[in-house]
Structure 1
């Protein structure tokens, strides 16, 4: 039996429900069409009030309606209106969508008319998605995936976020929890029915240990791939380093195809880091131009050099630039860490006898001014990006998820140790901790404060 529309439910039910919310669900700015979403127990009443009551008879079918102000009867717009009765809607509540013309005045007029109705207010950021989570339409990992999908800039980000939204992580977590509960049930049987014939204890302990060892291995694999997931989600970082006047800013401008950094023969021109974000091989790559590394000429330049070292420590790849006309190769500083470092000879146009291009796996000769050797460098960068991000969508993509999986894995290791020591009570307690840690990933317990932070990141109409 289908649930009755809000307008057909008892008033007491509607009055006890949360406020009905309305907001622009499509992008802001002028457009051919804008979508205004209304969700809550009074969504059906809102449709009726604006003259679209007939959509309640045909769920999920668009109807052309003349929207009118509920008090004055003034024509607001001609719109396509769709009705999604609970629970089969985005939020799990009654939802009505008004597909209106995308002019700011039209949007404002329709929203003003809606929020003037009793029990209807503007939605807060992320409130539609939070209600979807609270009504079981998606778990917390899927909600995080949706946030990433809305923010996706590249193809790799889109694919990864779409997999999360479709429940990639949530399904795996559910499977892990079922196995943890299976192991816990066997241990509880040993505790509660120790005096009864429930099977050989050694066989039960061995079976539980096998389950936990397999789970620990699966979690270890997910954690090993988490860095790749974060790289795709957050982007890679390539820092451009070198002595003053090595052509760092010229290279950045060439990569950006515009003048984003000041180029000057005066040493110390770049005092602070300048970042350009590019799409390479479907992945966001942030190129960071830094201050020339030398003995600083003043406090401001010294700070710029300090920041250059910090960016180098945080980078996924460092490009060490030295002008081709330098008589001797200038080595990079010794504190570059373990990240890959490529040597790039710049200003090849000043030494025309020196062939431009790739010399070996990590050495290049270029002229950012003439473009000589740039294709080889960009091709190598693209191949590097593909190498460090290749693979199916990562299971774990956020630090919060990674920490929870790591905590669960540690609890499983503790449970195995207690089993080996014969302490079944402590083993059962460790499994409860593992289950709780996994539950936090999908939003089952202990996440209220985190929910407030997460859903605040969404736009108002989502």
Structure 2
């Protein structure tokens, strides 16, 4: 409805607004909710907030309070709340897809299925414990329970296998520019970022610390890092920069090994997965076998380099978004896996111990979706939300 909003005391018109009412429990929070869609000037917002907060029982919402109420009303589980937070922060297409899948309950639905299967297995073991002396109880109850546990364990291990990719999509792939001094690393960083973020100088050793740039490459979130030139140095500051560059390259998802075409071949021990780049190809020199020639000055090879990076990151990715994206989720699933591995390893061990390990796994899955032990996690999570969420 389009209505005039008036001050409750002076009756002065504050704004002309669209007023929407969402009756509970079908609303986002599960409660009755009213929304005012106003013209968004600071003056209008200030006048409306002043009028509303002067009414009895009304106050400003805390950060993330609407989402917290939705969680407490059972409209969202913890994994879906985390997905919403990631969706708000998403910068690339892959991040959006992954966050939306989480927010729509992919992990919550999977966890509910795993939990139901484990509860069923636990009930079989409880029947074995309680009624094993009676003749009408099947002797295959333990075998059936272990079969169900084995099936869930395989699914949990598959989910764990997707964690690294889920974390990478959420936080960004790390691509490192490495090579000797004056290989054109800083110039290439500026060219790929399309802005000056690194100092470029003919003086060798200009870059001593790491410089990071966030990019969206074909939907992949990428942190591109310029590093100190790799060489032996007596300067302790430069030597520390070289040490950090070497350590970072070892952990990166992709390393671009740069050298200028007019310089000797790269003597660094190479990883077959590294992307070899010959820079300054507008100068006289030789491009080596397997090297991609680029020139920041002319722009030659830059589009091909970006395509190559995207293809390599795509090869590291799964076609479907990962189920697990946060360390908290990984820890919960790992706890469940370890408990279920004890069940499958013990075979026909003491039935009471088998049931207890399954119970431990069930509790881990309940932590995963926020049924238990959730307050500290929620406090940290909602602190990053805006007031309107």
TM-score (normalizing by structure 2): 0.95
Q: Please report how far the alpha carbon of residue 444 of structure 1 lies from its aligned counterpart in structure 2 after TM superposition.
A: 0.5
The corresponding residue for 2:273 is 340
With 289-298 and 178-187 compared, the bigger mean Cα shift is at 289-298
Find out whether 1:73 has 2:11 as its counterpart. yes
The corresponding residue for 2:266 is 330
Q: Deviations over 1:301-349 (max 9, x none)?
A: 23322332332233101111111111x31322x5x8x793222221111
The corresponding residue for 1:392 is 320
Structure 2 matches for 1:247-262, cutoff 5 A? Answer: 247-262=184-199
Structure 2 matches for 1:46-445, cutoff 5 A? Answer: 63-201=1-139, 203-326=140-263, 328-332=264-268, 334=269, 340-351=273-284, 354=286, 359-360=289-290, 363-418=291-346, 420-445=347-372
The answer to whether the 8 Å contact 1:82/1:98 transfers is yes
The answer to whether the 8 Å contact 2:176/2:226 transfers is yes
Q: Please report how far the alpha carbon of residue 224 of structure 1 lies from its aligned counterpart in structure 2 after TM superposition.
A: 1.0
Q: Please report how far the alpha carbon of residue 359 of structure 1 lies from its aligned counterpart in structure 2 after TM superposition.
A: 4.8
Unaligned 5+ residue runs, structure 1?
1-62
Separation in 2, partners of 1:339, 1:277: 25
The answer to whether the 8 Å contact 2:181/2:229 transfers is yes
TM-score (normalizing by structure 1): 0.81
Separation in 2, partners of 1:126, 1:316: 34
Separation in 2, partners of 1:147, 1:435: 26
Q: Deviations over 1:198-243 (max 9, x none)?
A: 4332x11111111111111111111111111112111111000111
The answer to whether the 8 Å contact 2:160/2:334 transfers is yes
Q: Please report how far the alpha carbon of residue 414 of structure 1 lies from its aligned counterpart in structure 2 after TM superposition.
A: 1.2
Separation in 2, partners of 1:451, 1:258: 38
Q: Secondary structure at the match of 1:102?
A: coil
Report the count of equivalent residues.
389
The answer to whether the 8 Å contact 1:316/1:340 transfers is no
Separation in 1, partners of 2:7, 2:289: 71
The answer to whether the 8 Å contact 1:323/1:346 transfers is yes
Q: Please report how far the alpha carbon of residue 190 of structure 1 lies from its aligned counterpart in structure 2 after TM superposition.
A: 1.0
Q: Please report how far the alpha carbon of residue 390 of structure 1 lies from its aligned counterpart in structure 2 after TM superposition.
A: 3.6
The answer to whether the 8 Å contact 1:231/1:389 transfers is no
State the superposition RMSD in angstroms. Answer: 1.7
Separation in 1, partners of 2:6, 2:251: 57
The answer to whether the 8 Å contact 2:220/2:310 transfers is no
Separation in 2, partners of 1:458, 1:198: 56
Q: Secondary structure at the match of 2:38?
A: strand
Q: Deviations over 1:161-217 (max 9, x none)?
A: 11111111100000000000000000011111222234332x111111111111111
Separation in 2, partners of 1:229, 1:140: 17
Higher relative contact order (CA 8 A, sep 6+): 2
Q: Deviations over 1:396-429 (max 9, x none)?
A: 11111111111111111112234x2420111111
